[in-house]
Amino acid sequence: MPSIISVKNLRKTYGKTVAVDDISFEVTKGEIFGLLGPNGAGKTTTVECLQSLRNYDSGDIRVLGLNPCHEAQSLRRRIGSQLQESALPDRIKVWEALDIFASVAPKALDWRVLLEQWGLADKRKASFASLSGGQKQRLFIALSLVNNPEVVFLDEMTTGLDPAARRVAWDLIRSVRDTGTTVVLVTHFMDEAENLCDRVAIVDKGKIIVSDTPLGLIAKHTSAVRVIFSTDKTDLAWLKKVPGVKKVSSRGTRYEVEGSGPLLALVAAALVEHGIVPPDLCSEQPTLEDVFLKVTGHSVTE
Amino acid sequence: MMHNIRTLFKLTWVEIKLFTREPITVIFTLALPIIFLFVMGGVFGNTPNPDVYRGVGAMNYYMPSYFGLIMMAIGTVALPVHLAGYRERGVLRRLRASSFSVWTVLGSQMLVSFVIAIVGCILVTILGFVVYHPDVPVYIGQLLAAFILGGVCFTSFGFFLGAVLPSTRSAQGMGMLLFFVMMILGGAGPPPEVMSRVMQVIGEITPLHWVIYMLQNPWLGFEWHTNASLITAGITVVSAGLAARFFRWE
């Protein structure tokens, strides 16, 4: 697959603050590529440079073979942008906004279809100011897609969306990908990156720490499976002798067993053998969150 | 190219609708000149007095002045507040990211300004003629030329203010100040002849003063005011240059 975005040694500073230290990555056509990291990690600055909304100090960027510094207008015409900070005039109506943004592109999509898809059909004549946060967000996503872009940049697209609307948004973005559009997603939500992205780069302090498929990252950077249950019994030292168990910890009546291999089955068998049948026995698979903690040394909210 | 033009017209049409939904700008650009028309007309009528109003009837003097007043309101209040607000709130950033060119954005603002100015001048003309029966303009062609040059001048002036003023708040403050100073001293308020020398001098350095002279002369049948038109053109060029130099998307 040809690479549609290529970033080499990107660096951007604001005075003495280093926003992007040294970032390199490639995005191939038709994938959902995620930049995952805490606020201030440099994700937004990076995608703003890619969209020619910001100048950078050094490095080399190609998007659709174009240089964002020198071919800004031809690039902007072929990409879609959902920006973290932007607005529309308060009194513009939803359909008017979609109509003028569609007029910029020769091969624009039918904005009426987008209104339906993004659940804004009944808000067609509502003014921008009267929309809720989630509705504004969905309108901005629709605006980023209305010019039928080859690459779409979505910066914290599910901010302000309720859980049900997030699921719908993920499905819609997957279908956008399936029509051949490449998606670059900026997010600080672990579940979003894990569910939606074909590949994820974990960004921290202006650098990409690791990048791979979500499953690849989990397999490579985590080993521990956790088994969790509750019991009134206190002397559970024998648990440590169960094969694969590495660590047993407890908080009150709640126990957490960490280890590897088929941990759940072995722990369950040992518990039954000792006459303990906890009703809440379950196992937790490691997630991207564990990967993030492991590779950056802190959680995403820190 | 064709879809650039289509975008320009679509954006212009939306901007015209947005203008009509913004009460403050409608009041300043369309309602105030009409209120002044009735106040001044009610007080001074249209009987010529050789000592004031360049020796012509007050309403003959004010009709072209209000054309200038409307353009000035657009250039000092409507445009700068609109542009500074768009930048402050991130609307310009949003437009730019979607490949709207600076020519489309500013071009639509210029078209909207002219549409508003034409509507405002037609309103003032109709009401003025119905109520006060002033003389009809003598040189229509020259009046039209003066109207276009005055409109372009105040649009550039508005772009300049919108480019340098950082926020809606500062644009509102500066816009109101310039609006009232120009209105009172620039020739759309009391007759210049009754003002003190200092007030006259301040009046003469306002763009409105020259735009009004340029509009009045063809209306009243005086000779084309070359100096006024050159000064207006100069203000246009300087404003446009500064606007281009300082314009920022964000």
How many CB pairs lie under 8 A apart between chains A and B?
Answer: 63
How near does any CA of chain B get to the CA of A249, in Å?
Answer: 51
Model pLDDT for residues B210-246, shown as the tens digit of each residue:
999 999 999 999 999 999 999 999 999 999 999 999 9
Per the structure, how many domains does chain A have? 2
Report ipTM (2 d.p.): 0.89
B-chain residues near A76 (CB < 8 A)? 96-99
Residue A298 lies in a domain: no
Cα distance between residue B220 and residue B58, in whole Å: 12
Predicted pLDDT at A106: 84
Predicted pLDDT at B138: 95
pLDDT band at A1 (very low <50, low <70, confident <90, very high): low
Predicted pLDDT at B133: 92
Find which of B99, B100, B111 to mutate to test the A interface (most A CBs within 10 Å of its CB): B99
Do A193 and A243 belong to one domain?
A: no
Do A101 and A176 belong to one domain?
A: yes
Between A15-24, A161-170, A216-225, the lowest mean confidence (pLDDT) is in: A216-225
Do A53 and A172 belong to one domain?
A: yes
Predicted pLDDT at B2: 65
Predicted pLDDT at A135: 93
Do A267 and A125 belong to one domain?
A: no
Q: Give the nearest partner residue to A73 out of B3, B93, B99, using CB atoms.
A: B99
Reference B38, options B137, B124, B135; nearest CA is B124
A-chain residues near B101 (CB < 8 A)? 73
Model pLDDT for residues A119-131, shown as the tens digit of each residue:
999 999 999 999 9
Predicted pLDDT at B227: 96
Percent of chain B with pLDDT over 90: 83
Do A135 and A246 belong to one domain?
A: no
Percent of chain A with pLDDT over 90: 74
CB contact under 8 A, B18 and A103: no
CB contact under 8 A, B91 and A88: yes
Do A181 and A232 belong to one domain?
A: no
Model pLDDT for residues B66-77, shown as the tens digit of each residue:
999 999 999 999
Average pLDDT score over residue span A51-61:
94
DSSP strand pairing (A58-63 vs A199-204): unpaired
Model pLDDT for residues A92-104, shown as the tens digit of each residue:
999 999 999 999 9
A-chain residues near B21 (CB < 8 A)? 91
pLDDT band at B165 (very low <50, low <70, confident <90, very high): very high
In the predicted structure, residue A144 carries a pLDDT above the cut 80: yes
The winner for highest mean pLDDT among A180-189, A293-302, B187-196 is A180-189
Average pLDDT score over residue span A50-62:
94
Extents of the domains making up chain B = 2-12+24-44+55-246
Q: Does the CA dihedral B103-B107-B108-B109 come out positive or negative?
A: positive
A76 contact B CB<8A: yes
Do A63 and A176 belong to one domain?
A: yes
CB contact under 8 A, B3 and A73: no
Residue A8 lies in a domain: yes
CATH of residue A105's domain is 3.40.50.300
Residue A302 lies in a domain: no
Do A54 and A138 belong to one domain?
A: yes
Bridge partners, B152 (sequence order)? none
Full residue range of the structural domain in which residue A124 is found: 3-219
Using the 3D structure, point to which of A199, A219, A239 is the last residue of a domain. Answer: A219
Between A117-126, A274-283, B152-161, B239-248, the lowest mean confidence (pLDDT) is in: A274-283
Do A202 and A257 belong to one domain?
A: no
Predicted pLDDT at B1: 61
CATH of residue A265's domain is 3.30.70.980
Between A153-157, A167-171, A218-222, B169-173, the lowest mean confidence (pLDDT) is in: A218-222
Residue A291 lies in a domain: no
Predicted pLDDT at A49: 95
Q: Give the nearest partner residue to A83 out of B86, B97, B99, using CB atoms.
A: B97
Residue A12 lies in a domain: yes
Residue A256 lies in a domain: yes
Do A213 and A271 belong to one domain?
A: no
H helix intervals, chain A = 43-50, 72-78, 94-103, 111-117, 133-145, 163-178, 190-196, 214-221, 263-273, 288-296
B-chain residues near A85 (CB < 8 A)? 90, 93
Do A75 and A31 belong to one domain?
A: yes
A129 contact B CB<8A: no
In the predicted structure, residue B140 carries a pLDDT above the cut 90: yes
Predicted pLDDT at B51: 85
Residue A268 lies in a domain: yes
Name which residue leads in pLDDT, B1 or A108: A108
Between A29-43, A254-268, B161-175, the lowest mean confidence (pLDDT) is in: A254-268
In the predicted structure, residue B23 carries a pLDDT above the cut 80: yes
Do A155 and A254 belong to one domain?
A: no
Residue A281 lies in a domain: yes
pLDDT averaged over every residue in chain A: 92
Please give the span between the terminal C-alpha atoms of chain B, in angstroms, as a whole number: 26
